[in-house]
C-alpha cells in the first residue's frame, strides 16, 4: 500500500481509503491530498480538523449549488461532503462531544445527495428487538427481479459508505444491494445505542425475513446472499453458518477470531476506545473477554452454501492467516483469492485498489444468477 505519510500506516490507510472511494463519487483527489497535507501523523486532532474543514467546505458548496438548482453539482458535492465528514469522525472517541454531531452532519449530506439521485435508493428501517436497523436498498436500474445481497460493514462502520464501491459495482452487474447498519454499526450504535453481538446470525436472519416480507416487489426474494467487509468477515461467516437459506456467502476480509486480532494490540491503539464502545464495555480487559465469543471455531464448518473469501496478503489489520485458517475449516464449496503483497490491492479489504475486488463481484453475479 502506498504511504502518503512514510512509515505511518493508519493515517496513510485512511488517505488510500478516500482516494479509492473517490472513483465512486466519495471524494476528489486534490481535495483529499489538500486535507492530508494538513495532518500530522499520530495527531488525531489534526486528522479530525483537516477532514472536518474540507467536509464542511464542500457541504456548503452543495448547499449553494442546491439553492441555485444546480442539481448535479449539488449531488456530487453532498456525496463528497458525506465521505469527508465520515472520515473526520473516524478516530474521535465515543466520549468526544463532536463525534455525534459530525456523524449526523455526514448523514445529512448523504440524505441530501440521494434525494437528488435520478434512480433513488430505498431507505429502510428493519425492526430489531426493541429498536431498528437502518439501511438502504440500491437496485440496478432497469433490472426486474434482481437477486439481492444483504451486506454489513465492519467494526462501527456506516451503511452509507458502502455506496462508494460495493453498491455501484454490484448494480452494474445486475445485483441489488441492501446495506444495513447492524448492531454496533452506524446509526444502530450511535443513535439507537445497540451494541454488537457475537451471534450476528440473529440480526442477519431478521434482515433475511424482512426482505422476504417487504421487498418482494423490489427484488427476487428467492435469491438472497450475505456479504460483509473487514470485521464483517466474521459477521458474514457467522450469519451463513446459522442461516442456511442464504444462496451464497461472500467474506471480504476473513476474521477467524476477533479476540486474537485484538489481544496483542496496545491499549492505546487508535481504535481501542471504539471497540470498547461497540461491545458495550468500560475497559479493554472486559472487552477482550467479550471478544472471546467472536470466533469461527466450531462454526465455520456449518456453512453450507458456496462461499468466496477475498483477502490481501499484506493486510496489517486482519493478517492473512485468518483467511487460510477459515479456508481450511470450510466444508462447503469455496473459492479463495489472496491478493499477493507485491500487488496494489493487497492491503486491508483492498482499500488501496478496488479493481482487485472485481473477481469476487463477478463470482457473486454468476452465482446469484444461477
Report the distance separating Cα 183 and Cα 117, nearest Å. 28
Residue 105 has pLDDT above 90, yes or no: yes
What percent of the chain is modeled with pLDDT above 70?
A: 100
Q: What is the 3-state secondary structure (H, E, C) of 234-268?
A: HHHHHHHHHCCCCCCEEEECCCCEHHHHHHCCCCC
Strand-strand pairing, 148-152 and 176-180: parallel
pLDDT at residue 267 above 90? no
- pLDDT number for residue 121: 98
pLDDT in tens, 146-192: 999 999 999 989 999 999 999 999 999 999 999 999 999 999 999 99
Long-range contacts formed by 50-55: CB under 8 A, 24+ apart: 50/88, 51/84, 51/85, 51/87, 51/88, 52/84, 52/85, 52/88, 52/102, 54/84, 55/81, 55/83, 55/84, 55/85, 55/87, 55/88, 55/105, 55/106, 55/109
- For residue 268, name the pLDDT band (cuts at 50, 70, 90): confident
The Cα–Cα gap between 41 and 91 comes to 13
> How does pLDDT run across 37-73, given as a tens digit for each residue?
999 999 999 999 999 999 999 999 999 999 999 999 9
- Give the mean pLDDT of 116-139: 98
Average pLDDT, the chain: 97
User: What per-residue confidence (pLDDT) applies to 47?
Assistant: 98
For the segment 141-150, the average pLDDT, to the nearest whole number, is: 97
State how far Cα 88 lies from the chain centre.
16
d(CA 192, CA 126): 13
From residue 367, alpha-carbon distances to 84, 117, 171 in Å are 35, 29, 15
Indicate the range of 163-167, 227-231, 260-264, 265-269 predicted with least confidence.
Answer: 265-269
**Sheet strands (E) in 2-159:** 122-128, 131-138, 148-152
Q: How far is CA 349 from CA 34, 229, 260, 284, in A?
A: 25, 7, 18, 25
Any residues with CB less than 8 A from the CB of 270 and at least 6 apart, and which?
10, 44, 91
pTM for this model (two decimals) = 0.97
Confidence grade of residue 210 (pLDDT, cut at 50, 70, 90):
very high
For residue 119, give the DSSP letter. S
Show the CA angle centred on residue 173, arms to residues 168 and 175, nearest 5°.
80
pLDDT score of 34:
98
Q: How confident is the model at residue 100 (pLDDT cuts 50, 70, 90)?
A: very high
Amino acid at each position: 500500500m502506498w504511504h502518503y505519510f512514510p512509515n505511518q500506516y493508519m493515517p496513510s490507510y485512511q488517505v488510500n481509503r478516500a482516494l479509492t472511494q473517490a472513483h465512486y463519487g466519495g471524494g476528489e483527489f486534490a481535495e483529499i491530498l489538500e486535507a492530508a497535507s494538513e495532518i500530522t501523523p499520530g495527531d488525531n486532532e489534526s486528522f479530525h480538523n483537516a477532514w472536518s474543514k474540507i467536509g464542511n467546505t464542500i457541504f456548503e458548496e452543495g448547499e449553494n449549488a442546491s439553492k441555485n438548482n444546480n442539481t448535479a453539482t449539488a449531488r456530487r458535492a453532498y456525496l463528497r461532503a458525506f465521505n469527508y465528514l465520515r472520515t473526520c469522525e473516524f478516530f474521535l472517541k465515543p466520549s468526544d462531544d463532536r463525534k455525534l454531531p459530525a456523524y449526523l452532519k455526514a448523514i445529512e449530506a448523504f440524505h441530501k445527495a440521494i434525494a437528488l439521485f435520478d434512480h433513488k435508493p430505498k431507505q429502510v428501517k428493519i425492526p430489531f428487538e426493541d429498536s431498528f436497523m437502518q439501511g438502504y436498498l440500491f437496485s440496478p436500474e432497469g433490472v426486474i427481479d434482481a437477486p439481492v445481497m444483504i451486506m454489513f460493514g465492519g467494526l462501527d462502520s456506516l451503511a452509507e459508505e458502502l455506496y462508494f464501491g460495493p453498491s455501484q459495482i454490484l448494480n452494474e452487474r445486475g445485483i441489488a444491494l441492501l446495506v444495513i447498519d447492524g448492531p454496533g454499526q452506524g446509526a444502530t450504535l450511535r443513535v439507537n445505542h445497540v451494541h454488537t453481538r457475537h451471534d450476528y446470525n440473529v440480526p442477519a436472519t431478521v434482515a433475511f425475513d424482512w426482505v422476504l416480507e417487504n421487498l418482494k416487489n423490489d427484488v427476487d426474494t428467492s435469491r438472497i446472499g450475505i456479504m460483509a467487509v473487514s470485521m464483517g468477515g466474521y459477521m458474514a461467516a457467522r450469519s451463513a453458518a446459522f442461516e442456511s437459506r442464504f444462496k451464497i456467502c461472500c467474506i471480504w476480509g476473513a476474521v477467524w477470531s476477533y479476540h486474537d486480532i485484538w489481544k496483542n494490540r496496545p491499549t492505546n491503539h487508535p481504535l481501542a476506545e471504539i471497540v470498547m464502545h461497540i461491545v458495550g464495555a468500560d475497559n479493554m480487559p472486559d472487552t477482550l473477554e467479550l471478544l472471546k465469543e467472536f470466533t469461527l471455531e466450531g462454526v465455520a464448518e456449518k456453512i453450507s452454501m458456496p462461499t468466496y473469501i477475498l483477502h490481501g496478503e499484506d493486510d496489517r489489520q486482519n493478517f492473512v492467516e485468518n483467511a487460510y485458517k477459515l479456508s481450511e475449516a470450510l466444508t462447503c464449496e469455496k473459492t479463495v483469492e489472496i491478493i499477493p503483497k507485491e500487488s496494489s490491492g493487497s492491503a486491508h479489504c483492498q482499500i488501496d485498489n478496488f479493481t482487485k475486488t472485481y473477481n469476487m463481484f463477478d463470482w457473486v453475479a454468476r452465482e446469484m444468477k444461477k
